[in-house]
Structures are given as structure tokens and as C-alpha cells.
Amino acid sequence: MIKLLTPVHWMDYELIDSGNFEKLERFGNQVLIRPEPQAVWDKSLEEREWIQKSQATFRKEKNDPEKGKWMLNKGCREQWQIGYGYREMNIRMRLGLTSFRHIGVFPEQGNNWDFIFDRIKTMKTTRPKVLNLFAYTGGASLAACAAGAEVVHVDSVKPVISWARENMELSGLDGIRWVVEDALKFVKREVRRGNRYQGIILDPPAYGRGADGEKWVLEENVGEMLKLCSELLNIQEYFFIMSLYSMGFSSLISENLVHSVFGKRDGMESGELFLPDAFGKKLPLGTVVRF
């Protein structure tokens, strides 16, 4: 069954408004305006209200929609921290204004962090091994570590790994293993080594480059990645999460992909991750399949 899944434990995040291909968001005490290609509806607030409320606005470059620059208002900080809490999990993350409009966190993933924490806490394995692929600044890694897991965090961008390590230290955690490598190459090697994991978290981009220039194209590579992950997943006690943010992939496509490799698993759920704004509009921010 397709579900709509949204995080409910954020105190330091709020989607204030969305529309006209933009979103107005509060991260801690800073309010930002960022592009959002799926916000095709009209804004609820007037444009002047958006400007009055915000500390910074991201403007895209004409030749590269992924890159751009931030227009800063008085009092804006280029780096700051936010927190996320759920049960015994209390994590902190450093945010920053980058040239790629991302700031170091995807708030919709909070729902998956709760799932990861709960699943690990119910495991009989004393210190389950969890593999986080395309792990970015490490929200999911922090959730798994806070729950008591032995975490392997894989990302191909060294500065992003350093950012994730900083988040671990801010959260008062330690012991995460950092791997700067192409995710597909790492997984192939883990299969050859015969390693197994109680948890696998997969959050690949639509397009990407590995540490040595390896090319990742979601529709071309995701099937192979899933098959390799199925060989790495522990057969007695496990969880698996795949999140995708690609406008060409629906929840049904994600569900069919996972079913074709793993079969139908007990408790499998699939759906759309979304964030509601203050006016009731639901902003879709990717698909998820997990069991």
C-alpha cells in the first residue's frame, strides 16, 4: 500500500510556505528561500511577506540550474546548527549555505531516522552493523549510531565526509567508520569479502560522480545496486531503506524495483516522503521503500 510519510518530531524545522517553484523554510532561527521544482502551485503568502521573513534567498545560475548564489539579508549567518530529537536520540547538525542550494540536511528524512532508530532498538543483535550508502552529511548514520549500531558511512565527496564527522562530534557520538569511495565500487568489494549487514540505507542521487570519476546514473545503476545490497543483507535480522528523489521515479517504480530483487517482505511499506506547509499544501520530496 502506498503511504504518505512525513516527519513529526522536528522542532528546528518548519516549511512555512511553498509555491511558484520555491519553498520558504525555517531552519532553527534562520528562514531561507530555495528553489523547489515540484512546487508548481501558487504561494499562499504575498511575495513581500516571503522577502520580509527570510534571511537568505538562493538564485540559480541560468546555465546550470543546480548551481547559483545566495543573496543574504542583514543578520544572516552562513553557518549555524539545528537539532533533532526522537525518544533517546538527540542529534545536532551543522548547516551551511552552499553553491548547490543544499544546506546539509534533508528534513523529510526525519521519518526514516525514526524508523532506523526504532528498528535497531528492537534487534536482538547486540551491536548490529549498518551500511549507509550515498550518506551525505550523515543524518541516517547519526540515527543508527545513536541507537547503538556499528555504522559504515560511505560517500564519494571528502568534504561531505568531514561535514558528517563534524555532525557526529556535535551530537556527542563516536565510532562511525568513514569511507570516501564510490558506493557501487564499495558494495561490490563488500560482496566479494562476504560481509553482511543488519541494516542498509540507500539514498542515491539521480546523477553523481564517484571519488575517482565513476559515473552514477540512477535508472542505469539502481538495479545492480539493489541486487548487490540483497547479497549484503543479513538473512536473520535486518532492515532496508531506499529513498529516491528523482522526478521520473514514482512510488510504484520504487516498489517494483525492490520487489523484483528482494521479493515481498513482511512489513514492507512504500510511499512518498512529503512536508506540509503552514497552509496545508503537501510538498512531495521523494519516494521511499522500507522493510
Please report, rounded to a whole number, the percentage of residues in the chain having pLDDT higher than 70: 99
- Determine which of 44-48, 60-64, 191-195, 287-291 has the lowest per-residue pLDDT on average: 60-64
Rounded Cα gap, residues 98 and 262, in angstroms: 37
pLDDT of residue 248: 79
* DSSP state letters, 91-105: EEEEEE--TTS--S-
Q: What is the pLDDT of residues 219-243, one digit of tens each?
A: 999 999 999 999 999 999 999 999 9
Rg (CA), the chain: 19
Domains and CATH numbers, the chain: 2-72 (2.60.40.1180), 100-290 (3.40.50.150)
Burial class (CB in 10 A: 0-12, 13-18, 19+), 203: buried
Q: What is the pLDDT of residues 57-88, one digit of tens each?
A: 999 887 776 789 999 998 899 999 999 999 99
pLDDT, tens digit, 9 for 90 and up, residues 252-283 = 999 999 999 999 888 899 999 999 999 999 99
Q: How far is the C-alpha of 158 from the C-alpha of 258, rounded, in Å?
A: 30
Do 94 and 104 meet the contact criterion of CB atoms below 8 Å apart? yes
Is residue 123 pLDDT above 70, yes or no? yes
Residue 135 pLDDT greater than 90, yes or no = yes
The pLDDT value recorded for residue 65 is 65
- pLDDT higher than 80, residue 247: no
Instruction: Tell me which H or E stretch contains 201.
Output: strand 199-202
Q: Give mean pLDDT, residues 150-159.
A: 97
Average pLDDT score, the chain? 95
pLDDT category at 1 given cuts 50, 70, 90 is low
Residue 233 CB-half CA count within 13 A: 20
Cα separation, 211 vs 182, in Å, equals 6
